[in-house]
Amino acid sequence: MGQRENPPSWAHVGRHAAFPQAAHDDTARFDFLANLNGFLAGALSPQVRHAYEHDVRPAYEKEHGQAPENRHQVRRAMAGNPTFALWSALRRASMEMRQQAGRSLVLHQLDALIKASAALNADSPRLLLDPSVQVPRYASAVDIHCMPGGYHTELMENDVSAAANYDCGIFATTGGMLGRFNDGGGQALVKWLREAHPNFAPRRVLDIGCTIGHNIVPMALAFPDAEVIAVDVAAPMLRYGHARARALGANNITFRQANGESLDYPDGHFDLITTAMFWHETSAVAMPRMLREIRRLLADGGLTVHLEQPQYAGMDPYEQFIRDWDAYNNNEPFWSVMHEYDLPKMMASAGFDPTTYFETRMAGVVDREIFPVASSSAEDHGRAALWTAFGARKP
Amino acid sequence: MSGSPPPPPAKLDVLAQANRRAKGKRPWFFNDPDVERVLNITLALAMEHAVTRQRLDALERMLQSKGLLIRAEFDTFALDAEAEAERTRWMKTYIARVLRIVQQSSEAASDDERGAEPAMDDLINQLRGESAE
């Protein structure tokens, strides 16, 4: 998490017909949280690093004759450090408060939200729910990033509350860095595709683990003639995602309840398969299975690309440790495992030709409507979300 | 007021559901979880205080835009002696109320020094002894 100046007020969040209505005080709560997060990242986080370098690491070196070599040694050494404890306690509290703020906002108007989504979804052949789809253990063992009930819990019939809560909180959690519609990741994928493969116009696109579809809507809008399938295991996300896509004018996405580990499309059906911020929420069994499934579903000449947080390899042990915080303290258990994988090897094991593997850094497309000040500079230091994108091409 | 939430859906316990915990063992970072609980309550109060300040700011701006208030006057607003005394009394009362536990702790400390207060267990036993006589 980089340093940010002033995060934009939540008043600038992108609204659509399925989005919750917010009162003055709801906006003020999200603004408080965005600025609290800014303080924790900008002011307190450097003090945590300072505590490590000036107290914890020297003490460790004295005891062990060498500095910690990996993030687990750093984590054990940092346990009990008062600066780290304070930063962590505030960060955890901030996450929980964000959930409470979003859920109270959403649940008070749940009937209206269900009606709004239902109206947008009415009789659509592009919303395919399947109650027989099981929520896999990796999505149900804990509530991912401390969202009570996770992605999948339904409090009433046709529930969209988990999704509306997710949608309205991202802007506060990220300080607006993903844009008004939280789609900076999806926009980055489109931008990259246009630049790296200017002649590639996908006809059939698959997005796995789409949640509310915020990262696939930009692709669907960029290629309006493409047939887009977005799958997820969580029905509330799909109901809301379909309504949201409609409301934003993306009419070529079919939202389908299905597990990406096994899909019933024929071999070679898709020429573009994407995920965004998805793998770290899966498991060591599911991820290779899905990569093999992607290999099967990809057409000759097709492309698969995945947006993720950067891998740990090459980072110093402290940097790895601090990025691992979410795994241990924000209910993202597979985060820790996934970020140490050898991705080229995983892709090769899934059957992709290693010579077609690629990996690149991708920055979130900055939303000029909310960050106008940065519009003249070439690089928005600390504001642009920075990810790793990896993938392969099927020859 | 416009900020008050509309009535909740009939079946759902919105207060409980909004406050519901996330499944997964919660990490506690301080040696004493009670301290962390108090931190969480304090932070929530800080947020609600910020919400009130933002609402007051919105109110002032709206009043100013309607010509009913000049915000700059807040900073030059002069009190007469009676108003000043009234506000000082309010502030003193307010601080005492907020810091009640500090006063009570020092009262207890000096009572302890004088040995004025027996432990409650001792008192219970004393009184039991009395009633048995």
**Structure tokens belonging to residue A45:** 């986080």
B36 CB neighbours in chain A (<8 A) are 89
A107–B17 CB contact, under 8 Å? yes
Q: What mean pLDDT comes out for the span A50-64?
A: 97
- Across the A:B interface, residue pairs with CB atoms under 8 Å apart total 110
User: Over chain B, what is the mean pLDDT?
Assistant: 87
Res A372: pLDDT: 62
Nearest to A97 among B26, B27, B47 (CB): B47
User: Residue A49: is its pLDDT beyond 60?
Assistant: yes
* Confidence (pLDDT) at A378: 45
Could you give the CA distance from residue A82 to residue A360 in angstroms, rounded to a whole number? 38
The set of residues, in sequence order, having a beta carbon less than 8 Å from that of A310 and lying 6+ positions away, is A339, A361, A386, A387, A388
B contacts of A329 (beta carbons < 8 Å): 27
Q: Percent of chain A at pLDDT above 90?
A: 91
Residues A285-295 have a mean pLDDT of: 98
* Average pLDDT of the residues of chain A: 94
Q: What is the pLDDT of residues A143-159, one digit of tens each?
A: 999 999 999 999 999 99
| pLDDT per residue as tens digits for the range A69-87 | 999 999 999 999 999 999 9
List residues of chain B with CB under 8 Å from any CB of chain A: 2-3, 5-6, 8-9, 11-12, 14-15, 17-24, 26-31, 36, 39-40, 43-44, 46-47, 50-51, 54-55, 58
The structural domains of chain B, with segments of one domain joined by +, span: 10-77, 78-133
Please give the ipTM for the structure prediction: 0.86
Mean pLDDT of A55-77: 98
pLDDT of residue B5: 58
Q: How does residue B9 score in pLDDT terms, banded at 50, 70 and 90?
A: low
Alpha-helix residue ranges (DSSP H) falling in A200-352: 217-222, 235-247, 286-297, 317-323, 325-329, 333-338, 343-349
Whether the per-residue pLDDT at A381 is higher than 80: the answer is: no
Q: Which chain A residues touch B57 with a CB distance below 8 Å? A: none
Distance CA(A285)–CA(A295), nearest Å, equals: 16
Query: At A78, which helix (H) or strand (E)?
Result: helix A71-78
> In order of start, what are the domains of chain A with their CATH numbers?
10-126+141-171 (no CATH), 181-393 (3.40.50.150)
B54 vs B102, more confident: B54
Instruction: Establish if A328 touches chain B: CB-CB under 8 angstroms.
Output: yes
For residues A221-237, average pLDDT: 98
Residues 6+ apart with CB under 8 A from A49: A318, A322
Query: How does residue B89 score in pLDDT terms, banded at 50, 70 and 90?
Result: very high
Q: Which residues contact B116 (CB under 8 A, 6 or more apart)?
A: none
Q: What is the pLDDT of residues B15-74, one digit of tens each?
A: 999 999 999 999 999 999 999 999 999 999 999 999 999 999 999 999 999 999 999 898
